[in-house]
Amino acid sequence: MEYLIIIIAILVGLGAGGGYLLVSSRRHRRATLPPPKPEPKAPGPAPTDTDERAGAGGGGLDLATEAVAEPAAPEIEVPPPSAGRMVRLRGRLARSQSAFGSVLLGLLSRDSLDDAGWEEIEDTLITADMGVAPARHLVEQLRTEVKVTGSKDVRALLRAQLIEAIGPDMDRSLRVSRHGGRPAVLLMVGVNGTGKTTTCGKLARVLIGDGHTVLLGAADTFRAAAADQLQTWGSRVGAAVVRSDRDGADPASVAFEAVKEGTELSVDTVIIDTAGRLHTKAGLMDELGKIKRVVSRQADVDEVLLVLDATTGQNGLRQARVFAEVVDVTGIVLTKLDGTAKGGIVISVQRELGVPVKLVGLGEGPDDLAPFEPAAFVDAILGS
Ligand SMILES: Nc1nc2c(ncn2[C@@H]2O[C@H](COP(=O)(O)OP(=O)(O)O)[C@@H](O)[C@H]2O)c(=O)[nH]1
Ligand SMILES: [Mg+2]
């Protein structure tokens, strides 16, 4: 009986402790919320906006600004820092690693590599979507190096070659800070379904976590669902959203309004989501060209990020080429790398477009976007 009382007492004690932990972690979460800057504006544009909106070529739009972070909203947490995310998310590259790393390591651990072995390495690189020419070049260099140096550590040489092929010195920074008294403006472009809207949301979260204020512009006006999706991300991560409540509104007008609102609210970064209809090259050029032109009346477009689904291989590369022809792409976002064994696409897309991969998507969650780091990427796919 006494034992029973003691056990009950212990259980009650543990329960209370657990309860305290729960509360304190909630408290901690609240305490570390980002300050809700800027203050949310009342929905609807100010009456004086009319002239400029007409100037954007889409008069009569009914645009609404959604509130920014609510101070006490428990679902908005401070995201983990973006630096070093590639290392933290390395497990997401498991598919690439098993297709690539284990095959290569098996080969490389042999005492000496014969022709067939070297060919297998080349095939593995090609299968990973690296591209035939770069794969051949890399293997040739590797062979020469092994011969010349007599090194047995082929893995280390391969690692160095891969990092070199990816381009460790490319400028992968994002221009996301205010300049000239205006917000930085980012345009997200790419084919439907590649992950543009998701990337807008994840990137906003990264930037907010790094202390920026962000406004999202829903210039994919083709379907109302697209703006709803962006708005959901906005309220999830604490970013204001400018959208039209009318399907088929002029995307350039929404983009214009987003930059205008972002300027008035003094946010650091405006991210504009666009539609990805690849109807005709001329149509695409008209649409993206107009968005860029209209936005440029108020602020520079600092980044045009081309979102590419890593699982789409050669087809994705073809689409990327079309986008690169109609708009000056400044960086590539490679999404869905978590669902593919084809990590080599990093190398082929950079070669194809001459533009660096700046961000990679490694899952559907809000923190599954990482600044691209060549060495961490190579280590993840080679495995250690
Ligand atoms: N696994 C995975 N899924 C992703 C990633 N990025 C986006 N997605 C998913 O891809 C689908 C299309 O994304 P969405 O942002 O709507 O594409 P959009 O049409 O280009 O705007 C959604 O189901 C996303 O959750 C990623 O990095 N990894
Ligand atoms: Mg979308």
Higher pLDDT among residues 150 and 3, named by residue: 150
**pLDDT, greater one: 120 or 14:** 120
Q: Are 239 and 176 spatial neighbours (Cβ–Cβ below 8 Å)? A: no
What is the distance between the alpha carbons of residues 277 and 192, in angstroms, rounded to a whole number?
6
Q: Ligand 1 centre and the CA of 153: distance in Å? A: 39
8 A C-beta contact, residue 191 and residue 321: no
- Please identify, by atom number, the ligand 1 atom nearest to the C-alpha of residue 307: 20
The answer, yes or no, to whether residue 134 has pLDDT greater than 70, is yes
> Is the pLDDT higher at 269 or at 277?
269
Across 224-238, b (16+ Cβ under 10 Å) vs e yields bebbebbbebbbbbb
Per-residue pLDDT reduced to its tens digit, 115-133: 998 999 999 999 999 999 9
Sign of CA dihedral 98, 104, 108, 113: positive
**Mean pLDDT of the 270-289 span:** 85
Torsion from C-alpha of 298, 301, 82, 130, nearest 10 degrees: 170
Segment 160-177 mean pLDDT: 96
Q: Please tell me which residue, 373 or 276, carries the higher pLDDT value.
A: 373
The pLDDT score that the predictor gives to residue 216 is 98
Looking at the CA of residue 198, tell me the nearest atom of ligand 1.
15
Instruction: Using CB atoms within 10 Å of the CB of residue 141, give its burial: 0 to 12 exposed, 13 to 18 middle, 19+ buried.
Output: middle
Question: Does residue 224 have a pLDDT over 70?
Answer: yes
CA–centroid distance, 77 to ligand 2, in Å, is 24
| pLDDT at residue 75 in the model | 61
pLDDT at residue 234 tops 80: yes
Of residues 275 and 280, the one with the higher pLDDT is 275
Q: pLDDT above 90 covers what percent of the chain?
A: 56
Per-residue pLDDT at 383: 83
pTM of the model: 0.81
Please tell me the predicted confidence (pLDDT) of residue 2. 53
Poorest-confidence range of 93-97, 188-192, 255-259, 306-310? 93-97
- Cα separation, 231 vs 224, in Å, equals 11
- Least Cα distance to 276 among 335, 195, 352, 200 occurs for 195
Protein residues whose CB sits closer than 6 Å to any atom of ligand 1: 190, 192-198, 276, 307, 335-336, 338-339, 361-364, 368
- Of all ligands present, the nearest one to the C-alpha of 193 is 1
| C-alpha 325 to ligand 2 mean position (Å) | 21
Mean pLDDT lowest for which of 76-85, 142-151, 365-374? 76-85
Which of residues 10 and 346 earns the better pLDDT score? 346
Amino acid letter for position 106: G
Whether the pLDDT of residue 154 is over 90: the answer is no
pLDDT, tens digit (0-9, with 9 covering 90-100), for 183-218:
999 999 999 999 999 999 999 999 999 999 999 999
**Which residue has a Cα nearest atom 14 of ligand 1?**
195
Which ligand ends up closest to the CA of 196?
Answer: 1
Tens digits of residue pLDDT in 29-76: 222 223 333 433 333 333 333 333 333 333 334 444 444 444 444 466
Question: pLDDT band for position 244 (50/70/90)?
Answer: very high
Tell which atom from ligand 1 comes closest to the C-alpha of 201.
15
Q: How far is CA 360 from CA 39, 55, 357, 373, in A?
A: 31, 37, 8, 9
Q: Name the residue with the closest Cα to ligand 1, atom 4.
A: 364
Average pLDDT of every residue of the chain: 81
**Distance, CA 325 to ligand 1 centroid (Å)?**
24
Distance 197 CA to ligand 2 centre (A): 4
pLDDT of residue 4 exceeding 80: no
Residue 27 has pLDDT above 70, yes or no: no
Reduced to 3 states (helix: H, G, I; strand: E, B; else coil), residue 366 is coil
pLDDT at 43: 34
Q: Is the pLDDT of residue 8 over 80?
A: no
312-352 pLDDT, tens digit per residue, is: 988 899 989 988 988 999 999 999 999 888 899 999 999 99
Q: How far is the CA of 191 from the centre of ligand 2 (A)?
A: 9
Helix (H, G, I), strand (E, B) or coil at 211: coil
- For a ligand 1 pocket test, name from 96, 364, 368, 372 the mutation site with the most ligand atoms within 8 angstroms of its C-beta: 364
